[in-house]
Amino acid sequence: MMVINRHLTREEILKLKKGILPLEDKCNALAHISQCSHCADALAGNYESRDLLSAPPDFISESLTKIEQLPKSIAGSRIRNRKRELYFYGFKVSVAACIALVLLFSGTFNYGITLLGESRIAEADFSKVNIITENLRGFSDKLIHIQVIDRFGGGI
């Protein structure tokens, strides 16, 4: 599709109105009219009031009635849906909390932990950690003793 970079001529607009414009030119012209307000106004200006269809006599009153009813029903249903969603969400959260409390206080987790503790987890051997701790404690005591001797001259 070729983009028209100019305004449509009066002849092109009349051919478009009468429907005798070739299909490719018609597509290009309509694409241009959708982007160009000048050409859209020129096309709309070619139609006289007798060319347009008239609206039914009760069109305005019926449209206004439907418009007045529409927002109330949509807004009301949205509020009801939001309240329903909030209640349902609160219900789900409270049920989940109750189930968690039942499982916690029923001892289910403790039973599983004791089974795992007996079969898979061995007691930790901290003997090497204790040896390192004692060595560091002895080293820090020696440092403190040396600093006291240096500072006070061994008079303690």
- pLDDT in the model for residue 53: 73
- Same domain for 107 and 66, yes or no, is yes
- pLDDT in the model for residue 92: 95
Encoding tokens for residue 15? 């051919």
Q: What is the dihedral of CA 41, 42, 48, 54, to 10 degrees?
A: -40
- Same domain for 129 and 109, yes or no, is no
- pLDDT in the model for residue 128: 86
- pLDDT in the model for residue 97: 94
Exposed, middle or buried: residue 144 (CB in 10 Å: 0-12, 13-18, 19+)? exposed
Q: Is residue 21 part of a domain?
A: yes
What is the Cα Rg of the chain in Å? 44
- Give the domain extent around 145: 125-152
- Same domain for 103 and 72, yes or no, is yes
* pTM to 2 decimal places: 0.33
- pLDDT in the model for residue 79: 74
Q: What is the largest CA-CA distance in the chain?
A: 123
Domain count for the chain: 3
E strand or H helix that includes residue 58:
none
The mean pLDDT values, 10 residues at a time, for the chain of 156 residues are 78 86 88 88 75 79 82 67 89 93 76 57 75 86 78 62
Q: Is residue 120 part of a domain?
A: no
- Same domain for 76 and 103, yes or no, is yes
- Same domain for 129 and 146, yes or no, is yes
List, as one string, the DSSP characters of the chain.
-PPP-SPPPHHHHHHHHHT-S-HHHHHHHHHHHHH-HHHHHHHHHT--TTTSPPPPTTHHHHHHHHHHHHHHHHHHHHHHHHHHHHHHHHHHHHHHHHHHHHHHHTTHHHHHHHHHHHHTPPPP--HHHHHHHHHHHHHHHHHHHHHHHHHHTT--
